[in-house]
Amino acid sequence: MIQKLKQQLSRYYLFFVVSLFVPLVFFFIYASRYQTNFFAYLVIAFSINIIILVAFYRRLKRKKSQVKLQKEDFFERANMLKADLEREAQVISAFRQKIISYSQLKGFIEKLSGCLTLEDTAHTLCRETGHFFDHGDSTIILYIFDSNSGELAIASAERNQRVVNIKSKLGDMFDRWIMKTQQPLYLEDTKSDFRFDMEKMQEEDLRPLRSLLSVPLVIQKKVIGILRMDSPVPGRFNEEDLRLLQAIGDIAAVAIENAELYDKVEDMAIKDGLTGLYLRRYLLERLGDEINRHFRREQEMSFVMIDIDHFKRYNDHFGHTAGDIVLKHLAVLMEKHFSAPGNLICRYGGEEFCLTLPECPKSEAVAQVQGFIEFVAGEDIILRREKTHITLSAGVASFPKDAKTKEELIQKADDALYEAKRKGRNRVCVA
């Protein structure tokens, strides 16, 4: 447009100059051949032409200045339009990415809905969150708040779809900040943020950490956990990533709450409400599986029945509430003493308890139970401000030496228990 305008001005001024000088040339030829006194008029005409040309030259300069300004204005508008187009392209691209992300969220919700237990939910959450972000060096961590201990506890941690070991099991200063403020945290570079002391952070966790995204998982204004992503590369995340992680966190909070409720219902179905130990029904299910496993591997396992001696006297003397205290105290002691992996402790009924010791020969089981009986006998229990003691009787049977089925194994251990009672209690007998 500017070039076309310049060409039009050039043609116009060329036509004007030619139209002025052609008559002068004609009059000059006429005066030099026919009438010399006509030169005076030519001088006057020439002077007038010069004045007119000067005026037109000035006007031409003004026009050129205007054209230059128009040209600059045109380029400025062109740059603005280009910038607008680039912004529109970015908006369109971001909108397309949102559509893709929201479609992924639909599948994400469906996968979380298929998880029942808290453990499955935690692993699925970390694994599927990694699919939303193309950052192979980023670590995804899920912390869940433990209402019993009052602290965060790591539920799952993954990097590039693989489980990783995190040193800060209870969270670090970033997680404590989240719990305190209940606000999301976005750090482009941890070293440039004045709120956090990275030297102290390096003492807590040896992992290199330069950028971070973290959101609280909130249900009814209560933080139940933290979903976090961190990377050793500064500037790895952006605000759009934070918004997406917040959307994931809202879904995750509901899924975790549902999983915790499911686990509680499951515990209520298989655990004793007083002692927190497994019930007889769960024992019978597990004991059959354990027997089959030991049969395939040709290994020995032991089964123990334990009973509190003269328990009725505690109820009669101190009341049933005191009896409940004794049962709970004994359950705690059993969990501490028989804490090896695979051991199964159950409340069989009333004041009777049973214990499954996998891959444990009968002689070793007897030694463990005898040590426990002696420990309990020396333990003080305060009931109604009165110091007292309890003693235990126990019977031990083993598979496959003493029994071939779970029913027979339980019966043999129970018979050994009653033998211990007949022999004076506070002892262990074997089948």
Report the share of the chain in percent with pLDDT over 90: 28
- Closest by Cα among 107, 256, 212, 392 to 264: 256
pLDDT at 81: 85
Q: Which residues are CB-neighbours of 177 under 8 A, at least 6 positions away? A: 185, 195, 196
What count of other Cβ atoms lies within 10 Å of the Cβ of residue 352?
A: 16
State mean pLDDT over 234-257.
89
Give the pLDDT score at 204: 57
User: 252 burial class (0-12, 13-18, 19+ CB within 10 angstroms)?
Assistant: buried
- What integer pLDDT is reported at residue 70 of this predicted model? 82
Between 169 and 355, name the one with better pLDDT: 355
Q: Are 370 and 378 in contact (CB under 8 A)?
A: no
Eight-state DSSP code of residue 75: H
Residue 359 pLDDT: 92
Give the separation between CA 315 and CA 124, rounded to whole angstroms: 48
- Which range, of 11-25, 149-163, 190-204, averages the lowest pLDDT? 11-25
pTM of the model: 0.56
- pLDDT, residue 362, reads 93
Residue-level pLDDT at 102: 67
- The per-residue pLDDT for range 211-227, each reduced to its tens digit, is 899 999 999 888 999 99
> Confidence class of residue 308 from pLDDT cuts 50, 70 and 90?
very high
Q: Between these two residues, 19 and 233, which has the higher pLDDT value?
A: 233
Q: Per-residue pLDDT for 4 more than 90?
A: no
Tell me: the pLDDT tens digits for 46-101? 677 777 777 777 887 888 788 788 888 888 888 888 888 888 887 777 666 666 66
| Whole-number pLDDT of residue 266 | 78
> Residue range 138-166: average pLDDT?
85
Predicted pLDDT of residue 199: 66
What pLDDT was estimated at residue 149? 76
Q: What is the pLDDT of residues 8-17, one digit of tens each?
A: 556 656 666 6
With tokens 């591997």, the residue in question is 297
Pick the range with the lowest mean pLDDT from 181-195, 241-255, 330-344.
Answer: 181-195
Query: For the chain, what is the mean pLDDT?
Result: 83
Collapse the DSSP code of 347 into the 3-class scheme (helix H, G, I; strand E, B; otherwise coil) and give the result: strand
Query: Over the stretch 363-413, which tens digit does the pLDDT of each residue have?
Result: 999 999 999 999 999 888 877 777 888 899 999 999 999 998 999 999 999
Between the CA of residue 322 and those of 101, 276, 374, what are the distances in Å?
A: 58, 17, 22
pLDDT of residue 262: 85
Q: What is the pLDDT of residue 107?
A: 80
